[in-house]
Amino acid sequence: MIFGPLACQHLGDLGADVIKLEPPEGDLTRAIGPRKSKDMGAYFMNCNRSKRSVVADLKTEEGQVILHKLVKHCDVLVHSTRSAGAARIGLSFDSLSKLNPRLVFCHLTGYGDAGEYGGRPAYDDIIQAESGLADLQRVVGGAPRFMPAIIADKVSGLHAAVGIMAALMQRVRTGRGQDLSISMFETMAAFNLVEHQWGHVFEPPTGSMGYPPVSMGTRRPYPTRDGFLAVLPYTDAHWHAFFRAAGAPQMMQDPRFSSFEARQRNVPAVWPEVERQLAKKTNAQWQELLGRDGVPFAIVKSLEDLRDDPHLASVGFWQAHQHPTEGDLRLTRSPFEFKGVDLSVRKLPPRLGEHTREVLAECGCGPDQIDALTGAGRQV
């Protein structure tokens, strides 16, 4: 649903000409969320900028002709159809690389094709459960639950974009295409185990799994007098500054707090003390005191707060656009920044099939052939 579209949006934001190949009924996400037009839901709009839309029914002969014309002209093909179904509609590296030996063929999967779980269907929730992420919520909250974000899709989408760029770099060196596969399960298992593999990095294990400062549930936003604050003193200098700001500099003489190693050994005592100190002052007071001494902190904000966040406004994070059918849009810009390169949104989210005729013409089709392939008189 989002794994592939988000990966390709990243590439489009960075300058790729991304062609979104859609069935006649369109991407399912077009119908999700608030919308002004039937096929332009908010969910779709936030994952499909920087793209052109082409409609083709790959179950038909005409759809296969369109696919093959695109493959001959494109550098990369990305799809997330399970292999058995993909083979039935001509999506295989072996067949398409014959048309374009330089093609980077990228298959996005839930579990890959090999192995015990190979070929199983998956969505974000399924991978959160399978990868241990839902159970991490049990560790700190008492019951397994999904994160209130499609984190498996989003993390996997970033991995896909990186993998595609690496395959293109390999092609520069070798002149050959690549058959690339990215598994959500393996991606998220590796993602979760960065810190949580812990004692199981060693064989035999030297301790349990789970990074204690996180899995104990003590490292979290704490209440202040008028809100919540996240604070993470890390170095000795940070901790000295934090306790000075709290009016308790003597705490750094306590052997539990006096050094990095001591604080690591005494996590159950460290964070309750932070919680106790934070409750003494307001967010504004902490912001002034901690900001002055460079202690890492953040006031807990709502999603709505981001609309008027002063930093996001100062760096041009929000961009206003006028869509030809959807009116005024407020979109986020790419977080990448290259000196001297404008990464403003170049293409707004496309209407279904908006660019079919345009793209087919670029592939060498004349008006009559385009009519034959798309259905004469059908709006595309």
Residue 8 belongs to a domain = yes
List the domain range (segments joined by +) for residue 368: 3-192+309-374
Domain boundary among 248, 273, 299: 299
Per-residue pLDDT of the chain (380 residues; tens, 9 = 90+): 899 999 999 999 999 999 999 999 999 999 999 999 989 999 999 999 999 999 999 999 999 999 999 999 999 999 999 998 999 999 999 999 999 999 999 999 999 999 999 999 999 999 999 999 999 999 888 899 999 999 999 999 999 999 999 999 999 999 999 999 999 999 999 999 999 999 999 999 999 999 887 777 788 899 999 999 999 999 999 999 999 999 999 999 999 999 999 998 898 899 999 999 999 999 999 999 999 999 999 999 999 999 999 999 999 999 999 999 999 999 999 888 899 888 888 899 999 999 999 999 999 999 999 999 998 534 44
CATH code for position 293: 3.30.1540.10
Q: For residue 124, what is the domain's CATH number?
A: 3.40.50.10540
Yes or no: say if 216 and 268 are a contact pair by the CB < 8 Å rule: yes
pTM of this prediction?
Answer: 0.92
Mark whether 290 and 325 lie in a shared domain. no
Number of domains making up the chain:
2
Q: Has residue 203 been placed in a domain?
A: no
Do 156 and 228 reside in the same domain of the chain? no
Evaluate whether residue 201 is within a structural domain.
no
Q: Which tokens belong to 291?
A: 């900001």
> Same structural domain for residues 355 and 313?
yes
Q: Are 319 and 344 in contact (CB under 8 A)?
A: yes
CB atoms inside a 10 Å sphere around CB 152: 29
Shared domain check, 342 and 228: no
**What is residue 214's predicted lDDT score, i.e. its pLDDT?**
79
Give Cα separations from 129 to 1, 82, 148 (angstroms): 17, 20, 13
**pLDDT score recorded for residue 377:** 36
Task: Give CA torsion, residues 118, 188, 177, 369, to 10 deg.
Answer: 80
Q: Which two tokens stand for residue 50?
A: 């920087």
Per-residue three-class SS string for the chain: CCHHHHHHHHHHHCCCCEEEEECCCCCHHHHCCCCCCCCCCHHHHCCCCCEEEEECCCCCHHHHHHHHHHHHHCCEEEECCCHHHHHHCCCCHHHHHHHCCCCEEEEEECCCCCCCCCCCCCCHHHHHHHCCHHHHHHHHHCCCCCCCCCHHHHHHHHHHHHHHHHHHHHHHHHCCCEEEEEEHHHHHHHHHHHHHCHHHHCCCCCCCCCCHHHHCCCCCCEECCCCEEEECCCCHHHHHHHHHHCCCHHHHHCCCCCCHHHHHHCHHHHHHHHHHHHCCCCHHHHHHHHHHHCCCEEECCCCHHHHHCHHHHHCCCEEEEEECCCEEEEEECCCCCCCCCCCCCCCCCCCCCCCHHHHHHHCCCCHHHHHHHHCCCCCC
pLDDT at 342: 87
Of 266, 299, 332, the residue that ends a domain is 299
User: Are residue 22 and residue 129 in the same domain, yes or no?
Assistant: yes
44 and 19 in a common domain: yes
pLDDT at site 268 = 87
**Residue 153 falls in which region: left (phi positive, over 0), alpha (psi -120 to 50) or beta:** alpha
Same structural domain for residues 100 and 56?
yes
List of residues 6+ apart from 10 with CB closer than 8 A = 157, 158, 161, 334
> In this predicted structure, what is the pLDDT of residue 56?
96
Burial 42-51 (b: 16+ CB within 10 A, else e): bbbbbbbbbb
The residue from 253, 269, 299 where one domain ends is 299
Indicate whether 215 belongs to any domain: no
